[in-house]
Every structure is written in structure tokens, then in C-alpha cells.
Structure 1
Amino acid sequence: MLNRKIMKFVYMLIPQNSKGFTLISLLFGLAILLMVLPCVGIFYQSLPTENHYQEQAVRLAFQFLADQSEQSVEMRVEGNDLLFESEEGSIISISQYEDLLRRQVSGEGHEILLRNVSDFSTELLPFGLKMTVVMGGGEQYEKIIRYP
């Protein structure tokens, strides 16, 4: 007996009136895409985003002042100025100048620590120093630096 292979043919009926994807439909789709694409950028720019720049700047200034207090021999408050005495004997002052919080060494220089400051106040505590910064928008930040 011979093994016969049975062959089956599958025939799929394709309608002949369908032309498929033409160049005109491709150009039409591309034109729609090019009209909508610039609107996406404008829409994305109009979305509100949170900006934490000011909060980060205040935190960085407070961290800088905490580091300065650790490197200092003495810390005192005169008026609204915060004074640090370094090991070399120079006096480092932190004060408000117009809307800036600035640092000066022995009354010279003008290093800006923070901008848009409406009020800067310091208060000596028995265990450290309390600093308060009020920004131009009314936001208030406080930091307590403990004596080392």
C-alpha cells in the first residue's frame, strides 16, 4: 500500500474592488498629523507645573549657615545681623541687604546666599540659634541650628 499524501488547498476570497492604502490617503493622514502636532506642544506648555526652586534655595542657604556655624569659634547676633567668628579671627556677617541675604567677610565682599527676601530675623536660644526668613511671596521658613 502506498502512502498517499493528501493535499489540501486553501483558497481565500479577496474582494477585487478594494484598492488598499493609496498615496492620497497617506498624504491626507500626514497632513492631519502635521496640523495636530504643533497644538500638542502648545497644550503641553499651558499645563501648570510646580516649581520648588525657592524652597530649595532656602534649604541650601540654611544648610550653608549650619555649616558656617560648625566651622566657627563663636556665633552672635547684633541687631538683625548674624555674626560668626572664624578660627583665623575674621568676622563673617550674614545680613539682609535690600531683598538679598548676603554674606560678608570682615565687612568686605558681597556673596549672595538668597534672593527675594522680604525679612530676615535671628534669635539666640539657650541651645542654639533660630533663623526666620520671609520671602517676597509671604512664605515663611524657619531653621534652628543647635550649638555643636
Structure 2
Amino acid sequence: MLKTSQKRDVYFNSNTPAFTLLETILSITIVLSISSLIPLFFQCYNKTIQLSNLDQTMEWQLFLIQARLELEKGSDLRLDENKLSFQKDGNQITYSKYNDILRRQVNAKGHEPLLTKIKDWKIIQKEKQLIMTVKFSDDSSFTTKFPSSETKVSK
């Protein structure tokens, strides 16, 4: 039997681009660096959500301070379907829901937003108290009570 040797010529062209071990290590390092930052992005996102809730709580607290001061000096309180009206310094003050805000009007004029992003607002009288419940668009709700001696309820 004759053995024929097949000789293959293999040529290496040094001008062709190749993906070396050094480039592989470098690309893996970049991918790992970027992926290690992902938990930090989530942490920043959670912090932002917490701060937005803090803003809503602060808005609610400022509203309570203003409403308590006005209601203490107010007289002739009237409750009409989701509207609170009272007299203060000869002016008719009205709190009512308008679209997604709770607004304040003086003598049925103006538009002063007191609370924003409101889904629902209810105010009822119970045992010489006004009970106000506000539900915000993120489904959080706050309830407060104001002392009231002379309230007229109209429906």
C-alpha cells in the first residue's frame, strides 16, 4: 500500500482582525463594571419614590395648618355635596374639588390649589366634628378631624 501524504499549506495572514485574549478580558471587565452599577440605579429609584411621598405628606401637613387656622376664625360653616363653605372676615371661603385638585376660592372667585393629585375628597359632620378624608391618585389616603360647633349640612 502506498501512502500518499497530503500536505496542506496553512497560511496565517497577520492583517486580519482577531479577537485576542486581552480584548476578551477587557470586554468582560466592562460588562461586569456596568452590571455592578445596576443595584445603585435601583437604590436611587427607591430614594426618589420615597422623596415624592415625603412631598405629598408635606403638602398634606401644610394644608392642615392652613385649614385649621381658617376654620378656627371662620363662622357659618356649610357642607354642600363635597364642598365646604364658611365666612371669614366678611368673605365667603369655599373648599371644593376641581378635577384632580382641592381648591380654595374667596367669594366664588379665584383658584388657589391646596392639594394636588386627588382622586376623592369627602367631608362629613359627625358629633360636632368635621371629618375630612382625602384619597390621592396613588391610593394613599389621609383623614383628619376639625372641631365644629355650628355646621349646616345641605344636600
Would the TM-score normalized by the shorter structure come out above 0.5?
yes
Match of 1:57 in 2: 59
Distance 1:43 1:137 in 2: 25
Q: Give 1:105's aligned amino acid.
A: V
Deviation at 1:97, TM superposition (A): 0.2
Aligned residues: 109
The one-letter amino acid paired with 1:109 is: G
Partner of 2:132: 131
Counterpart secondary structure, 1:69: helix
Gaps of 5+ in 1: 1-35
Cα distance in 1 between the residues matched to 2:111 and 2:89:
21
Among 72, 78, 87, the alignment partner of 2:89 is: 87
**Counterpart Cα distance in 2 of 1:63 and 1:128:** 17
Deviations 1:27-81 (A, max 9, x none): xxxxxxxxx9xx98x9478433122111111121122111110111222211110
Q: Is the 8 A contact 1:122 1:132 kept in 2?
A: yes
Specify the code of the residue in structure 1 equivalent to 2:81: G
What CA deviation, in whole Å up to 9, does each residue of 1:69-97 have, x standing for no partner?
Answer: 01112222111101111132x21100000
Which one scores higher on RCO, CA 8 angstroms, separation ≥ 6?
A: 2
Which position in structure 1 is the counterpart of 2:102?
101
SS of 1:74's equivalent?
strand
RMSD: 2.2
Deviation at 1:147, TM superposition (A): 3.0
Partner of 1:20: none
Single out whichever of 51-60 and 112-121 deviates more from structure 2.
51-60
TM-score normalised over the length of structure 1? 0.66
Q: Does the residue aligned with 1:132 lie in a helix, a strand or coil?
A: strand
TM-score, length-scaled by structure 2: 0.63
More helix by share: 2
Alignment of 1:9-88 (within 5 A): 43=40, 46-47=43-44, 48-49=46-47, 50-51=50-51, 52-88=54-90
Q: Percent identity?
A: 24
3-state SS, counterpart of residue 94 of structure 2: strand
Alpha-carbon distance in structure 2 between the residues aligned to 1:43 and 1:132: 37
2:142 aligned residue: 141
Counterparts of 1:87 and 1:125 in 2: how far apart (Å)? Answer: 26
Aligned amino acid, residue 107 of structure 1 = A
CA distance in 1 between partners of 2:136 and 2:119 (Å): 5
